Amino acid sequence: MKLPIFTERLILRKLTEDDVDNIFLLDSNPDVMKYVGIPPVKSKDESARMLENIINQYKINGTGRLAVIEKETDRFIGWSGIKLLADEVNGFKNVYELGYRFLPEFWGKGYATESALASLNLGFNQLNAEKIYAYADVGNASSNHILKKLGFENKGNFIDEGDICNWYELEKDNRK
């Protein structure tokens, strides 16, 4: 991955062990975790383990979620990026998946869309993906809206960890 990536308002860089407080703030927030299929974390140890896992993915898979920094304030606002699905989801394994997660005070500014476009560029142009996948809880209206806006095709429902989710696919040539 050629990093950092600079967009109009954001910087995408690798997550490091030093982001443990940032990730804990994000993943301990019930509003953030409402539709992501896992409960809010309760300890910084859990966040440290999660960071270790992501840093390992960079090494093994050559990709993973990236920290997103707001240029104007230099603040960590969340993460976005392309992950290799090493564990099977909806029958798919070892495919590239787009994801994003932000602190509520930064929602509604177009940051998920802006960072997703940068992540898709990385996936299609650096990782040479032919197709990128995504999924979202059916109740997560803004995420489903963003995915459709980006050109993702809704391939129907499946159950993930007990939650009904939409499964999406985007071919390189169908990007919006």
Cis peptide before 40 (omega within 30 of 0): no
* Minimum CB distance to ligand COA smaller for 100 or for 124: 100
* Minimum CB distance to ligand COA smaller for 105 or for 173: 105
Closest separation in Å from C-beta 98 to ligand COA: 9
* Minimum CB distance to ligand COA smaller for 60 or for 108: 108
Nearest to 166 by CA among 135, 132, 131: 135
* Minimum CB distance to ligand COA smaller for 60 or for 139: 139
**Residues within the interface to ligand COA (CB under 6 A):** 32, 35-36, 78, 100-102, 107-113, 136, 140-143, 145-146, 149
Closest separation in Å from C-beta 115 to ligand COA: 8
Closest separation in Å from C-beta 2 to ligand COA: 23
* Minimum CB distance to ligand COA smaller for 60 or for 176: 176
Closest separation in Å from C-beta 33 to ligand COA: 7
Closest separation in Å from C-beta 110 to ligand COA: 4
